[in-house]
Amino acid sequence: MKIKFPKDGRFGEFGGKYIPETLVPAIEELEQNYLKYKNDPDFKKELNYYLTEYAGRPTPLYYAKNLTQKIGGAKIYLKREDLLHGGAHKINNTLGQALLAKRMGKTRIIAETGAGQHGVATAMACAALGLKAEVYMGYKDTIRQKLNVFRMNLLGCKVHAVKAGSQTLKDAINEAIRDWITNVEDTYYLLGSAVGPHPYPVMVRDFQAVIGEEIKQQIKAFGKETPDTVIACVGGGSNAIGTFYPLVDSKTEIIGVEAAGQGLKSGMHSATLSAGTKGVLHGMMTYLLQDSEGQIQETHSISAGLDYPGVGPEHSYFKDQKRVKYVSATDKEVIDAFLMLTRTEGIIPALESSHAIAEAIKLAKKRPKTDAIVVTLSGRGDKDVEVVQENVKNSK
């Protein structure tokens, strides 16, 4: 079922490149360079150096004993991407792409960001490698994740607040693409999730696949050939596809968790795979949240990083192939999971990652104690404490 590098950019019917003609040469240049460098020993060595010495890989696979005991079912293991430099899995991808951009001779980097984690990871990678970065961020997100705006500014990165549309991640991507069209000669677009036109979904997946590769190795120390189940949250789908891809051809049960917001029936959610229909956005054919006229709908999630009406095309493919099960968690379940992990393990998870924790809590109860459930903890929750505090206050 694995598709290593689709020549036509398609995972089944999903993916492709639906882009303005001005971007075609840039996308072709990117594809050629990615193919040239991805197996280049020097490139791999340099990336590995930065992942290890700068970002802090490998990350631990931690047995969450207290949480497991509290729930009283299958054993829960946490893949600690929250311990990476910057506090999320995003740095795996930004280091890879920034090193590629440098080899391509690009001097100006642009990126979009939702929660601000990808923006911060871009700003860090660029500072470390001596590149200039500018980040587009929805205006609404600059308010609810203002800590990350400060961090980006401190890192020497210009943040553009986008006031168009829903003022969230999708609008930030639109604006980054417009910038790219305008400055196509010298600018590298460093996309933050496994979305967009080919080759981005494949390239971002490959840079994030280190998560799943490490899980495969590390689970052996706990007496398992492979995990019985892996769970990850799905926004655009990069931490999830990085977790899943190395395990796709194994027997492991694979579960992606989307944001159900205030409930799938409320219309206030961003559960694209659970409730969406096929369409074309941001250069790719994929599942989308849209109305009957093909207009993209506004989404909602308590976590800015999952607040997106599309999803990476490879996830759409795995859904239709029934290889991955996609479920969702509501804002309320997410807050509960956030608090439970914080109090039992002393680990403050990102709200995005708390979606995966919420599903693990539900599932572990139903599974035997001999089972191993691995949850990708995609990021840490420092950025979210304000939002959580407000929610806890309001629910009292």
Partner 1 sequence: MSRIQNRFTELEKSGQKALVTYVMVGYPSHKDTLSAVRGLIEGGADIIELGFPFSDPLADGPVIQHASTISLEKGTKMAQFLNLVKQIRKESQIPLVLMTYTNILYSKGYQKFFKMAKEAGLDGLITPDMTVEESKEYLKAAKNAQLDTIFLVSPNTSKARLLQIVKQTTGFLYLVAVFGTTGVQNKIQNYTISALKETKKIAKGKVPVGIGFGISTPNDIKSYVKHGADAAIVGSALIKLIEKTPSNKIQKTVASFTRQLKSATK
Ligand X SMILES: Cc1ncc(COP(=O)(O)O)c(C=O)c1O
Return residues touching ligand X (CB under 6 A): 88, 114-115, 117-118, 193, 233-240, 305-306, 350, 352-353, 378-379
Nearer to partner 1, 216 or 300 (CB): 300
Nearer to partner 1, 239 or 316 (CB): 316
Question: Residue 184's binding partner, choosing from partner 1, ligand X, none, with beta-carbon cut-off 5 to 8 A by kind?
Answer: partner 1
Residue 94: which residues within 8 A CB-CB, separation 6 or more? 111, 118, 121, 122, 124, 125, 126, 190, 192
Q: How many residues bind partner 1 (CB under 8 A)?
A: 38
Residue 30 found at the interface with partner 1 (CB under 8 A)? no
| Smallest separation, CB 291 to partner 1 (Å) | 9
User: Which one is catalytic: 38, 90, 216, 224?
Assistant: 90
Q: Is residue 266 annotated as a catalytic residue, yes or no? A: no
Kindly identify the residues of this chain, within the stretch 201-260, that bind partner 1 according to CB under 8 A: none
Residue 16 found at the interface with partner 1 (CB under 8 A)? yes
Question: Residue 394's binding partner, choosing from partner 1, ligand X, none, with beta-carbon cut-off 5 to 8 A by kind?
Answer: none
Nearer to partner 1, 278 or 369 (CB): 278
Nearer to partner 1, 42 or 185 (CB): 185
Nearer to partner 1, 35 or 164 (CB): 164
Q: Is residue 378 annotated as a catalytic residue, yes or no? A: yes
Nearer to partner 1, 51 or 173 (CB): 173
Residue 60 found at the interface with partner 1 (CB under 8 A)? no
Q: Among 70, 103, 160, 178, which residue sits at the site for partner 1 (rule: CB under 8 A)?
A: 178
Nearer to partner 1, 285 or 348 (CB): 285
Q: In what order do the strands lie in the sheet with 229-233?
A: 61-63, 75-80, 372-377, 229-233, 253-261, 325-330
Question: Residue 237's binding partner, choosing from ligand X, partner 1, none, with beta-carbon cut-off 5 to 8 A by kind?
Answer: ligand X
| Smallest separation, CB 41 to ligand X (Å) | 28
Question: Residue 80's binding partner, choosing from ligand X, partner 1, none, with beta-carbon cut-off 5 to 8 A by kind?
Answer: none
| Smallest separation, CB 51 to ligand X (Å) | 17
Nearer to partner 1, 274 or 299 (CB): 299
User: Which one is catalytic: 112, 214, 333, 352?
Assistant: 112
Q: What are phi and psi of 188, to 5 degrees?
A: -110, 125
Considering only 135-143, 205-213, 282-290, 360-368, which stretch makes contact with partner 1 by CB under 8 A? 282-290
Q: Are strands 277-281 and 284-288 parallel, antiparallel or unpaired?
A: antiparallel
Q: Is residue 112 annotated as a catalytic residue, yes or no? A: yes
Place of tokens 């946490």: 78
Rounded to the nearest 10 degrees, what angle do helices 117-129 and 90-103 cross at? Answer: 40
Question: On the CB side of 395, how many CA atoms lie within 13 Å of its CA?
Answer: 11
Residue 186 found at the interface with partner 1 (CB under 8 A)? no
Place of tokens 């929250």: 82
Question: Residue 8's binding partner, choosing from partner 1, ligand X, none, with beta-carbon cut-off 5 to 8 A by kind?
Answer: partner 1
Answer for the pair 80, 62: CB distance below 8 angstroms, yes or no: yes
Residue 164 found at the interface with partner 1 (CB under 8 A)? yes
Question: Residue 75's binding partner, choosing from partner 1, ligand X, none, with beta-carbon cut-off 5 to 8 A by kind?
Answer: none
Question: Residue 117's binding partner, choosing from partner 1, ligand X, none, with beta-carbon cut-off 5 to 8 A by kind?
Answer: ligand X
| Smallest separation, CB 18 to partner 1 (Å) | 5
- Residues that bind partner 1 in the complex, under the rule CB under 8 A: 8-9, 16-22, 24-25, 164-165, 170-171, 174, 177-178, 181-185, 277-283, 285, 288, 290, 292-296
Q: Which residues are catalytic?
A: 90, 112, 378
